Structure 1
């Protein structure tokens, strides 16, 4: 039985205008996110995966309205976030936090850790300054920082420690939903494991819901309950993690999973190597966006865009291989 739906994304689009010439006229659009839908349940980790440039990070930023969407709806606990004015949205902002890939760029180098952590508490008026200082010490201990360290500046810390600071800053306002945008990809492997285990522990303790954005499929399998696979701004497949990794349906998902190195050198995997490059998102191909590189392409894929639908219980895919309908072309 599913838990409550915390986040529901419906037909989300994020197009960026291409402006050229002296007059900066719009001559085209980059379709970074092109009509995707998914939902995230309470206290689960839903991961978005795909090649670089597929629109994962843009999706995360658009959900939190760091980028205003071109079209679509984003529902948080049943209320459309896009209906809020910018002023009213600030009241919801504390429930929705984001942890970025590069912690150094997201931390003000002129502020101590204590100042960085106390600022959001005072901004959202969650406590007095004296109480906020106690909250800072408590959350610092939760993420593995000492009381002495909170008086230092970001440049005095390692990459892993900076990411702990970013996690503390996100969690100190007691959010419900956290979007993690490549939160461990810039860290050494050993540090990655520490941060991932920390995130899992904090999720259980604070009953958090995660949207985890990553290109590392090994990491995604370790932390996720469900996974969504994106390609060229569109959703190709979503399923429970074990289902997706053991029985991927879409040829693109199959190709991604075939590239995961095996931990057992005696196990030989058949690698599915894709031909060509990812198409230009400002001029996507007709039909299925993946058909130019798909090893299982047929004529229908080149003409008709597949519908993203439930192929089997709780397993959604956008691929004509799982359609029972005959190809029908309009004259």
Structure 2
């Protein structure tokens, strides 16, 4: 069996909390706390969870936009956390990020052509003619008319801006892309178009995706496997069909019960979670979910469940299994 393209081992990203006159570190926000998984070539692995669960921090830690506190990120079996700045610069050709908000991620002073060609000039010795040709091809692929290439970001709608962001990230034909909530700021009708575009580009360029979202409805159509995060921890991980047909963790069950059904007459049991997500600076003892869990037992309050395989390729961190 081929090695995975990306392998994350016991990754941690903690942020210090400082207090007092001397700004001493008194605690840490454990945004990503001991997470391990891998992503195969040409696969789409999706991370889901409520806002503040650490999924975006995990995506940025993998790319070293945020520096992890510990663990390993193996890309083609090489730990990129040990890379020097020059090695990291070369790596940027192969790993890219599509941001959630196309409004703030695009420089308003640059035209579309300048924005999309900038990565080419950064990473390659390339003539202006060659760059323009590649930009024209990429704009066509993402569905933007070439006559709009000299316009500026403020002249486009949200969906068009996200197409510009995708063109900018994909112009280098990277092997691995982190898509951080790429459709959450868009209308539902536009979301479907952008998802379809991402799937087409993945097939054309043989890309691998880490797709981050809080919306399980969105994830269903694009993912091969899904990981569910809560308070910096992985709660459940399996293939997409299994997570929708047989969710094991009470947190996953609650998330899925909130997804609207296409048939309004179809009855379903809604799981209402009590309370708010605890602070990652002061997580509860035992299972991080036990204070909100409808199935919590005595041992959940003191013993943290092990993240283990309970069925074939179906991993869960819960004392019920």
TM-score higher than 0.5:
yes
The corresponding residue for 1:16 is 15
**1:176 deviation in Å?**
0.4
**Aligned twin of 2:58:** 59
d(CA) in 2 for partners of 1:147, 1:257: 41
TM-score by length of 2: 0.98
Structure 2: how far apart are the matches of 1:188 and 1:36? 32
Q: Aligned residue for 2:30?
A: 31
Counterpart in 2 of 1:258?
A: 257
Q: Distance in 1 between matches of 2:146 and 2:289?
A: 52
From the superposition, tell whether residues 109 and 215 of structure 1 become closer, same or farther in structure 2 (CA, over 3 Å). Answer: same
SS at match of 2:146: coil
Cα contact 1:3–1:42 (8 A) shared by 2: no
State the match for 2:283 in structure 1.
Answer: 284
Q: Cα offset for 1:127?
A: 2.8
User: 1:296: which partner in 2?
Assistant: 295
Distance 2:2 2:139 in 1: 30
DSSP-derived class of the 1:213 partner: strand
Per-residue CA distance 1:180-202 (angstroms, 9 max, x = gap): 00000000011111111111111
2:121 corresponds in structure 1 to: 122
Number of the residue aligned with 1:232: 231
Residue 19 (structure 1) shift? 1.4
**What is the CA-CA distance between 1:245 and the residue it aligns to?**
0.6
- Residue 317 (1) aligns with residue 316 (2): yes
| Secondary structure class of the residue paired with 1:148 | helix
Equivalent-residue separation in structure 2 for 1:281 and 1:59 (angstroms): 14
After alignment, is 158-167 or 296-305 more displaced? 296-305
Cα distance between partner residues in 1 of 2:19 and 2:136: 51
Q: Distance in 2 between matches of 1:146 and 1:274?
A: 46
Query: What is aligned with 1:132?
Result: 131
Look up the match of 2:148: 149
- The CA deviation at 1:36 is 0.7
Over 3 Å counting, the alpha-carbon distance change for 1:244 and 1:3 in structure 2 is farther
Tell me the number of residue pairs that the alignment of Structure 1 and Structure 2 aligns.
Answer: 321
In the other structure, the counterpart of 2:218 is 219
1:3 is displaced (CA, Å) by 5.7
Tell me the residue number matched to 2:161.
162
1:303 is displaced (CA, Å) by: 1.2
**1:247 Cα shift?**
0.3
Q: Distance in 2 between matches of 1:22 and 1:66?
A: 30
> Structure 1: where are the runs of 5+ without partners?
323-331
Instruction: After TM superposition, give the deviation of residue 59 of structure 1 in Å.
Output: 0.3
Contact 1:95 1:177 in 2 (8 A): yes
Q: Which residue of 2 aligns with 1:73?
A: 72
CA contact (8 A) 1:126 1:173 kept: no
Matched, 1:210 2:209: yes
Deviation string for 1:256-289 (max 9, x for gaps)? 1111111111111101111111111111111111
State the alpha-carbon separation in 1 of the partners of residues 36 and 291 from structure 2. Answer: 23
Cα distance in 1 for partners of 2:2, 2:133 equals 33
- Deviation of the 1:23 alpha carbon: 2.2
| C-alpha distance in structure 1 between counterparts of 2:99 and 2:308, whole Å | 31
* 2:105 alignment counterpart: 106
Query: What is the deviation of 1:18?
Result: 0.8
Contiguous gaps of at least 5 residues in structure 2: none
Which segments of structure 1 move beyond 6 Å, counting only runs of 4 or more?
none
**3-state SS of 1:151 partner:** coil
Look up the SS of the partner of 1:61 in the other structure. helix
Residue number in structure 1 paired with 2:91 = 92
Secondary structure of 1:29's match? strand
Q: TM-score, normalised by structure 1?
A: 0.95
* Cα distance in structure 2, aligned partners of 1:311 and 1:81: 31
Deviation at 1:104, TM superposition (A): 1.5
